[in-house]
Structure formats: structure tokens, C-alpha cells
Amino acid sequence: MATGLFELRKDDITGWWVAVVVDREFARERFQVAARPVGRPGDACQNCQSPSGDGVRVRSLKPQAFTVAGTGREARGSERAEQEQGLGLLGDCGSWQTIVAPPGHHAPLAEESSAVVVEMLARARDAIAAARRAAETDYLQVVQNWGAQAGARTDHLCIDFYDLPQIPHRIGEELGGAARYLIREGVCPFCRLVRDEVSGRERLVFEDAASVCFAPYASRSPFELWVVPRHHDADFGRATDDQLTSAAETLQKVLRLLAVLDGPPYNLVLHTSPLRERVDETYHWHWEIHPRLREIAGLELGTGLPVNPVSPEEAVDELLAQARAGVLSGQASRGMAVGGRSWDAFPREDAR
């Protein structure tokens, strides 16, 4: 029986579909895309100069970064209200800030010292906790952009966070899907994913006592990877120092594996619970890594259907072949691309 060009796969949490190309042999040269620097040698770096200090710092880029305009009709009504009463639709709110590595640190996150990465993640955790206490906005989005192709605006290692006045659509879909899954299956879908991917090992990249990295079954982009903690918690703002250490170590080790693609540009995004909702039973914070290896084509724009030219199983094979060949240090067995911490290295109550 002839197979199709695309295999339609369904995300078990959101219900969204992905078209995975299955009839082509993987050609590594098509996806070897080195991250391009943003500036030129000798350019002044604002993140080196501001704010002052020698360590990890937080820099405010735009206070009140968002104006909620709504629909075109709402915006026109808001303009009339502004003229008549001096009022806007919702006014300015939110913010855009960045967590910057120490001055002169322009290397990728994978090559940074573990202490600096842990501290940067701790600053992100603390920002989420502070935003939750303030209860002025709905969501705090944490991202790292690396390389000009991924939208980075600096070569300085930094992690941005955006204080948003609304829950992002992607997060909303995960929240609703996870709640429905829990009702249907009686278990958190992310906890189930961790169990199934560790057991099946077909898409497993790395595991230790606290974190698991795998390529999701319905990967939306080539070499998409998720880093999910074994312990169940919806809110990254409650992460312990041990959990931050594991997340930092796992992110660095997994990003080093992408050296097989010439150190590509990527977006690293954190998914965590909303600031003004309690979803402790149904949600599970996690990191997503999206290497930026191709352009978006017409089928995707016209249908909203992501097209992934590399199956997640094939992507994992390529990443782990690098480790097996000894190019990277660590164990060569499948699912342990780089040796992880043992169970005893983490508190048991944090890895339930």
C-alpha cells in the first residue's frame, strides 16, 4: 500500500494537527543552519553597559509595553472615547524586560557556565512569582531567542520576559486540552507523556532523576524538543533550586546536541500557568526548544497546519548519532545522550 507524502499527526493535548513529511530521506545539509550574529565585531553592546554591575542583571526594556486595542471597531470606539472623555480601551499595561548575563558574555546558552544559567532561570522564576503576587496582568512569557534568524536583537546572552495582559492562545489551548485530558484519563497529560516517552524511548533524547527531554509526537517544527520536569507542578514560579539546577543542566546538554546542525538559531520558550488562575492539577510547566531551520510555506499560511519536514523519530536519531559517535561527551545509549544526575542527587519529594 502506497504511503502519502504527509503523515497527519494529532497533538493529544491541544487536538491540533501536524503534517509530518514521511517519504523523503533525511538530508542533513538541508538543516545545517548556523545562527547568524546580530551585530558586527566591535559594536557597542547595551546589555554589557546597562544596567551596571558584574553579574546577572535585569534590564527594563519597555514598561507598559502593551496597549490593548481590540477589534477594529473597538479601536475606533476607543479613539472616540479618548477624544470625548480622555479614555482608552484598556490603556497601557504589561512590560518587556530582559535577564542579561554578565558583561562580555556573548556565547550561546549551551556554552555558558552552569552557575550563570541557573541564576538566570532563578531570576525568571522570581519574576513569575512577583507578577503572580502583583496580580496586575494575566501571563508572564519567558523566552530566549538565539541568532538573527530567530528574532534575537543582541548577541549578548539574555532571557526576555513579557508581562502580558492576556493569556496567549497557545497556552489557552494547552490549559483547556490538559483539563479535558485529566477528566478523560484521570492523569496529567504531561506526566503521562514523561512516562510514555521514557518507556517507549523512540523519541527520548535525555533523562535524569528530575527532567526528561523528548521530541513530541506531533512536532510542529524540525528538531522541536520539550524539556519536562518529572515532578508535577503547574507554576514555574514555585520551582525549587534543585529543580532549576536540573532544568539548566538539561537545557544546556540538549542544546549542545544541536551542534550537529552547526549551532542553529532557536527559540526557547517556557510554558507555565497563568498568573490569576489556579490550574495546579491540570497543568505542568515545561520548556520548548524550536530550532529555526526553514521558512514557512504557503500550505501552512493558508491552512494553519504546521508542516514538519523531519519526523521527530528521525530527528532524535540524528541527535543521538552525534553522541554515539563520541563527538559529545557522555553515555552513548539511547535516551541518555549525555549522562544525567542520579536519583539520589535530587530530593525525592521534588521528583514524584
- pLDDT tens for each residue of 301-340: 999 999 999 999 999 999 998 777 654 444 333 334 444 4
Cell 472623555 belongs to which residue?
85
pLDDT grade for 265, boundaries at 50, 70 and 90: very high
Task: Provide the CATH number for the domain formed by 46-350 in this structure.
Answer: 3.30.428.10
Distance between first and last Cα of the chain? 45
Give the strand pairing for 211-214 and 204-207: antiparallel
Cell 503523515 belongs to which residue?
7
Longest dimension (CA), the chain: 70
Interacting residues of 303 by C-beta distance below 8 A, sequence separation 6+: none
Side chain identity, residue 36: R
Strand order in the sheet with 17-21: 6-10, 17-21, 307-308
Cell 532549576 belongs to which residue?
244
As a whole-number percent, the residues of the chain with pLDDT over 70 amount to: 87
Side chain identity, residue 167: I
- pTM as predicted: 0.88
Strand order in the sheet with 139-146: 57-67, 92-100, 158-164, 139-146, 266-271, 286-291, 225-229, 211-214, 204-207
Max avg pLDDT among 13-27, 56-70, 84-98, 225-239: 225-239
Can you give the pLDDT at residue 238? Answer: 97
Which range (69-78, 209-218, 327-336) has the least confidence?
327-336
Distance between CA atoms of 105 and 280, rounded to whole angstroms? 36
Give the mean pLDDT of 221-232. Answer: 97
Tell me the H-state helices in the chain: 46-49, 72-85, 114-134, 169-185, 189-200, 241-257, 298-303, 312-324
pLDDT at 70 exceeding the cut of 50 = yes
The DSSP secondary structure of 141-186, one letter per residue, reads EEEEEESGGGT-S-SS-EEEEEEESS--HHHHHHHHHHHHHHHHHS
pLDDT tens, residue by residue, 104-163 = 999 999 999 999 999 999 999 999 999 999 999 999 999 999 999 999 999 999 999 999
